[in-house]
Amino acid sequence: MQVDVKQLNGLTLAYVGDAIYELYIRTHLIESGYVKPDALHQKAIQFVSANAQATIVHAWLNDNVLTEEEASVVRRGRNAKSISTPKNISIQTYRYATGLEALFGYHYLHKNKERLDKLAQLAIKSIENEDGNDSDG
């Protein structure tokens, strides 16, 4: 069965994108020397939290990093109506984070590995620059 990625709703794209984004982050952390499970988990939270994801998306939109098509995918993810509600963050933050995940899902399902790699690198660099990039593996 062939799925038309452009027809998938934002939450479906985000469902896939969440896993893909987290895999990029986990791989990066291991390659950076984080090997203890607790340290891996604590460091990963800095990258995969909704606040971090929303910050990344806002920066990309403000700096025109995304193509018009990519910005449209982010909007689709952001505007998708979820039945779950966030616990410790604003709905707006949660929705922007969903937009980032939708973008990763979109590129993954389109097999745009080169662009996925580039966006993951930009996301990682953005969070590390904000955080100061420490390593205690």
For residues 82-86, average pLDDT: 77
Helices 91-109 and 113-131: crossing angle in degrees, nearest 10, is 150
Residues assigned a catalytic role? 18
Q: Is the pLDDT of residue 65 over 60?
A: yes
Give the pLDDT confidence score for residue 81 in this predicted structure: 83
Give the pLDDT confidence score for residue 117 in this predicted structure: 98
What secondary structure letter does DSSP report for 7?
A: G
Classified by CATH at the fold level, domain 13-130 comes out as: Ribonuclease iii, N-terminal Endonuclease Domain; Chain A (1.10.1520)
For residues 119-136, average pLDDT: 79
Q: Residue 130: how many CA atoms within 13 Å on its side-chain side? A: 14
Higher pLDDT, 10 or 137: 10
pTM over cut 0.85: yes
Q: Is the pLDDT of residue 136 over 50?
A: no
Q: Look at residues 99, 96, 127 and name the one whose alpha carbon lies nearest to residue 24.
A: 127
Q: Is the pLDDT of residue 96 over 60?
A: yes
Give the pLDDT confidence score for residue 132 in this predicted structure: 59
Give the pLDDT confidence score for residue 131 in this predicted structure: 67
Distance CA 68, CA 74 (A): 10
